[in-house]
Amino acid sequence: MNNDRLRQFADLLLRWNGTLNLIAARDAGVVWDRHIVDSLQLVPLMPAGIERAVDLGTGGGFPGLVLAIATGVRFDLIESDRRKASFLRTAVLETGAPATVHCCRIEDAMVPPAGLVTARALAPLPRLLPLAARFLSADGVCLFLKGGKAEEELEAAGRDWAMTVDRFPSKTGSDGVVLRLSDLKPKAT
């Protein structure tokens, strides 16, 4: 893991945050624990030997850009906000992260399927799974950072989707959970 490049990213994030609101102002003093460590908890859950991944709604770089910097895995970062995408492009250049920024809506992204799809605080599972499924290879895995409503979301999503679900308690939030979803398939209607 490259802590120097992660610190470089954190410094850049804080510089841009004054004008762009990439993270909540109250999080500026805890950016490392609240955002970077939160993203890094996905590293041991990533499939072994993965070469490429897709991060949906990357925002300020979480978790996709942090994971690209930390692991060297190539990430496609999809972010519709032009200003945030501009920040992400700058961060990719300055940190040398193996990532490509796609400034478009997730529905419009032209990115081939990958073995890993990630997202953090993007949408409830019933809305997130159809978005993620189009970028997920047949044997791929989704890693989603979720809050206290994860079980409700899983129950709602289970009406339309079959999947294998592994739950891991969040290392950074008492009510948070990391969902590792595999064998994702829409149910026949």
pLDDT tens-digit profile of 68-101?
999 999 999 999 999 999 999 999 999 999 999 9
Q: 145 or 21, which is more confident? A: 145
pLDDT at 106: 97
62: left (phi over 0), alpha (psi -120 to 50) or beta: beta
**What are the domain boundaries of the chain?**
3-186
- Count of other CB atoms within 10 angstroms of residue 136: 20
pLDDT at 28: 65
* Cα distance between residue 114 and residue 53, in whole Å: 5
**Strands 136-146 and 177-186, bridge-based pairing:** antiparallel
**One-letter amino acid for residue 160 of the chain:** D
To which residue do tokens 């979480």 refer?
A: 62
pTM, whole model, 2 decimals? 0.95
Which CATH topology does 3-186 take? Rossmann fold (3.40.50)
Mean pLDDT (the chain, rounded) = 93
Round the CA-based radius of gyration of the chain to a whole number and report it.
Answer: 16
Contact assessment for residue 61 and residue 9, using Cβ atoms and an 8 Å cutoff:
yes
* pLDDT of 189 higher than 70: no
* Cα distance between residue 88 and residue 12, in whole Å: 10
- Closest by CA to 63, choosing from 40, 86, 83, 85, is 40
Run of H or E residues at 26: none
